[in-house]
Structure 1
Amino acid sequence: MANSLLLDRLAPRIVEEDGAFRTRMLNIAAGRDDVIALGRGDPDFHTPAHIVEAAKSALDDNQHHYTGPTGMAPLRQAISDRLRADYGLSYTADEIIVTAGVQESIMLCMLGLVRPGDEVLVTSPRFTTYDTAVHLCGGIPIPVPTYQKDDFALDVGEIEARISDRTRMFVLVSPNNPTGAVTPPEVIRKIADLAVKHDILLIADEIYARLIYPPHEHLSIATLPGLKDRTITLNGFSKTYAMTGWRVGYMAAPADFVEALTEPRHTLSINTCTISQHAALAALTGPQDEIETMFTAYGDRRAYLMAALTEAGLSYGAPGGAFYIYTNISATGMTAKPFCEALLRDTGVMVFPGDMFGEPDSDFIRISYLQPLPLIEEAMGRIKGFIDAHKGAAA
């Protein structure tokens, strides 16, 4: 079949992405009624009730009209207060833009900073939305590899080796997706020195920063002397508050930069859903006990999975944060895509291959522990059975 006229005239900024494998997996899952989904990064918990009630009250009170492009003033102030209390970050309400999830913050940052031909260094394996956003702005994403032997924590030498005269910025994601790796404070300080030395900008994606397991520690790079002026801090509500579908994120940056991006942000979506902004305000200012309950559950699931994967003969980088375990399945003799597809067909367990995180022909899969522990235990039983059957067939 010939291409449509529109497809033939597609702008070169649209880089073709292979969605065939994801679609195939979803089609397989749709044909089964016993699927245990350990793939998506979508918390299984309900959004806490007081957050939902705040949204309902906003609807009842006719609070569903436009807000300013940067977001409701009380919400921006609450974000400012939370950033200071949790991370020691000093941003005023005028230095914050509320966006439709961190996804929109990422796009807004790239629109504001990336010029054609600019190189953007990105922690890898990675959340490939960064690649797409950089491509859309005419830039070139440059992966900075991390390794299982280091629990996928960043190595400053790997960053510096990839800096060129075209490097515009480095994207620091800690804890990282898909590995759960936390970059230690001493490495964060070295990255800060590197940014100053080479005069590069920084994006600090801290969406998982409240999901860090002891003894790991988080350090917000914009708190370091002289770094706030070259850093954009990203965060949001999806992961911590189980609010993925509410689509509320934010970026924090110096006020003059925020002012410059206000009209582009207005052009993208006018404002973040007003109802969701009221919910986000309740999330920040209301009780936090359910957040602690979720975090405790994630910790229990993490501990179980690490032990169960080891028992199954699979290795991994020990995750310091988030809710993923990036697992090496090379011991099975399979690469990630065939492993994931066969596992889903044979057992109904869905996990995602490292190929979806910028690693073609990967030996790794991402397992998210976002199901109740009994279901995770059931899934691990199926995975062990699958591995044993595969080894038996190969013998």
Structure 2
Amino acid sequence: MAEHSLLVDRLAPRIVEEDGSFRTRMLNIAAGMTNVIAMGRGDPDFHTPPHIVAAAKAALDANQHHYTGPTGLPALRDAIAANLRADYNLDYAADEIIVTAGVQESIMLCMLGLVSPGDEVLITSPRFTTYDTAVHLCGGIPIPVPTHEKDDFALDPAEIEKRITPRTRLFVMVSPNNPTGAVTPPAVIRQIAALAEKHDILLIADEIYAKLIYPGNEHLSLASLPGMKARTITLNGFSKTYAMTGWRVGYMAAPLDFVEKLTEPRHTLSINTCTISQYAALAALTGPQDDMARMFADYAERRDYLMGALTEAGLTYGHPGGAFYIYTNISSTGMAAPDFCEGLLRETGVMVFPGTMFGDDSTDYIRISYLQPLPRIREAMGLIGDFIAAHRSTK
């Protein structure tokens, strides 16, 4: 075994061990294969719509490649504020918005601004574990709030309340959720708002998937409820809705005095979000939405097919009310999720990820993302069915 370097020996205690080894192993396996059907990552398979790309090119041609202010282009913040008002009934002014390098940077900025050593942060679980890392970096303690398949992985306010302690600083709600696709119903969101007031805790509402809501489900923004704007930070961005993952544009919206306090820390992190990407994001919000409607229609068709195919394969799942994931229970195969995922990749070339990568203590679940064309998804489901049949027959 190699000795630790001097740097690792003197690593600050805020850097905790985060297990990325399984993800790395899966990616290394896939790198040595051809024709892998990737249904694990959360990266849309569509190209960024042409008018958005054209806006970025036009910005370059106009020499718009210098710094912006740390909070972002004024025109973009105006457009974001207008969009939040029109689509989510959220009352934010342009100067209550900070444009960040993806929602990832917004998450880190929030934790830097709010979390002190020893603070507890409640987080919807299974979860996007970037939150854990950000909380750890600030000396805080992430506290998972479990959701369950029987509830379609929607939040249960009772599960939140019984984890609130005098050290609870804030609660992070991600709806629609990654990895489950769960949409927490408006009635439950109102109960969560009441809990926040009762216990005087702060809220982060991560709404990055809020435009991806399927019929029969309803999104309600926490900060639109009476009294909630004062204790809520709303996060959103462009990566998922507009197939702009690599452009790295997200934003946070919060009361003005809080935004002012975080402006210099945001400047310290990266000065500003890529200027060209900001012009692209402006075109995304203010330009035609036809491409987004077509993408969403394709997601809906893929989702409907997958739900039927998984049921036919004898697998259960929580109802995916939004986003583009189905959190699938593979316990009936007799295999633990990490073994299932690695075996499936090695034997069939289909790559999905285990729930253990999303903070799930159970080994019963995998996350399937439907970010491949429907013919490829059909091919993948055929291979998954064959894989399950082969392994069930050996038991």
TM-score relative to the length of structure 2? 0.99
> 1:172-227 deviations in whole A, cap 9, x for unaligned?
10000000000000000000000000000000000000000011000001011111
Shift in Å at residue 263 of structure 1? 0.1
The Cα shift of 1:361 comes to 4.8
2: CA distance, partners of 1:96 / 1:146: 31
2:141 counterpart residue number: 140
State the AA in 2 paired with 1:182. V
The alignment status of 1:234 with 2:238, answered yes or no, reads no
Q: Aligned partners of 1:193, 1:360: CA distance in 2, in Å?
A: 29
Amino acid at match of 1:117: G
Structure-2 residue corresponding to 1:113: 114
Aligned pairs for 1:42-121 (under 5 A) are 42-121=43-122
Partner of 2:271: 270
In structure 2, the residue matched to 1:386 is 387
Offset, 1:159: 0.3
Distance 1:300 1:229 in 2: 39
The 8 Å contact of residues 201 and 230 in structure 1, kept in 2 or not, is answered as yes
Task: Write the distance in 2 (CA, Å) between the matches of 1:385 and 1:241.
Answer: 35
2:164 match: 163
Q: How far apart, CA to CA, are the structure 2 residues paired with 1:66 and 1:360?
A: 44
User: Offset of 1:30 from its aligned partner?
Assistant: 1.0
Partner of 2:372: 371
Is 1:172 the counterpart of 2:141? The answer is no
Tell me, what secondary structure is at the counterpart of 1:251? strand
Q: Name the CA distance, whole Å, in 2 between partners of 1:289 and 1:90.
A: 26
Query: 2: distance between equivalents of 1:216 and 1:60?
Result: 43
Alignment partner of 1:4 is 2:5? yes
Match in the other structure for 2:220: 219
Question: What's the CA shift string for 1:249-280, capped at 9, x where partnerless?
Answer: 00000000000000000000000000000000
Q: Provide the rounded CA distance (Å) in 1 between the counterparts of 2:261 and 2:310.
A: 48
What's the CA shift string for 1:14-40, capped at 9, x where partnerless?
A: 011122111111111111112000000
Q: What is the identity, as a one-letter code, of the residue corresponding to 1:237?
A: F
**Correspondence for 2:253:** 252
SS in 2 for 1:393: coil
Deviates more, 1:13-22 or 1:266-275: 13-22
Q: CA deviation at 1:360?
A: 3.5
Displacement of 1:318 in angstroms is 0.8
Letter in structure 2 aligned against 1:285: T
Partner of 2:197: 196
Aligned to 2:298: 297
> Do residues 25 (structure 1) and 17 (structure 2) align?
no
After TM superposition, the structure 1 = structure 2 runs for residues 299-338 of structure 1, keeping only pairs within 5 Å, are: 299-338=300-339
Tell me the amino acid that sits aligned with residue 391 of structure 1: R
Distance 2:200 2:363 in 1: 34
> What is the aligned partner in structure 1 of residue 186 from structure 2?
185
Misfit runs of 4+, over 4 Å = none
C-alpha separation between the residues in 2 aligned to 1:217 and 1:353? 28
Report how many aligned residue pairs link the two structures: 394
* Partner deviation per Cα, 1:233-260 (whole Å, 9 max, x = no partner): 0000000000000000000000000000
Q: Matches of 2:200 and 2:81 in 1, distance apart?
A: 27
Residue equivalent to 2:39: 38
Q: Which residue identity does 1:46 align to in structure 2?
A: H
Alignment of 1:353-364 (within 5 A): 353-364=354-365
Report the secondary structure of 2:367's partner residue: strand
DSSP 3-state at the match of 2:288:
coil
Post-superposition Cα deviations, 1:268-313, rounded to whole Å, max 9, x if no partner, equal: 0000000000000000000001111000000000000000000001
For 2:369 and 2:209, locate their aligned partners in 1 and report how far apart those are by CA, in whole Å: 13
- What is residue 351 of structure 1 aligned with on the other side? 352
Question: Aligned to 1:387, what secondary structure does the other structure show?
Answer: helix
Percent of residue pairs identical: 79
- How far apart in 2 are the matches of 1:284 and 1:21? 37
What TM-score, normalized to structure 1?
0.99
CA contact 1:337–1:361 (8 Å) conserved in 2: no
Aligned equivalents of 1:304, 1:3: Cα separation in 2? 50
How many angstroms apart in 2 are the aligned matches of 1:27 and 1:110? 32
